[in-house]
Amino acid sequence: MDAQHNVSLAVAIGRPRFFYVLYPWNGMQVLCTGSVLQYYEYDSAQRLTDVEWKTSPRFSCCATSLPAWQPDECSGKPVQTHPLRP
């Protein structure tokens, strides 16, 4: 809560996103899979109850933008990749 400006910071995690990674191991390329949770945040002048939070259109899928430091891989833009070093 930013008491000086009477604003609170609300944070949430989204549904799991699955990803695949080629990982170099013992001279081979191993295909690994995993999942990550998206992170959302926004400023609000009022605190929300659990019911308000869950039913708010702000938190529907794709309604809330991600923080600037977290790229949105589902935006249709190419995802930056880096070549593996032998």
Residues 18-77 have pLDDT tens digits of 888 888 999 999 999 998 887 777 777 777 787 877 777 665 554 455 556 656 555 556
pLDDT score at 62: 47
Structure pTM? 0.41
80 backbone φψ class: left, alpha, beta (φ>0; ψ -120 to 50): beta
| Residue 42 forms part of a structural domain | yes
| Residue 86 forms part of a structural domain | no
| Residue 5 forms part of a structural domain | yes
pLDDT score at 31: 92
| Residue 55 forms part of a structural domain | no
Q: What domain range is 22 assigned to?
A: 1-50
Residue 14 and residue 40 in contact, taking contact as beta carbons nearer than 8 Å: yes
pLDDT score at 86: 55
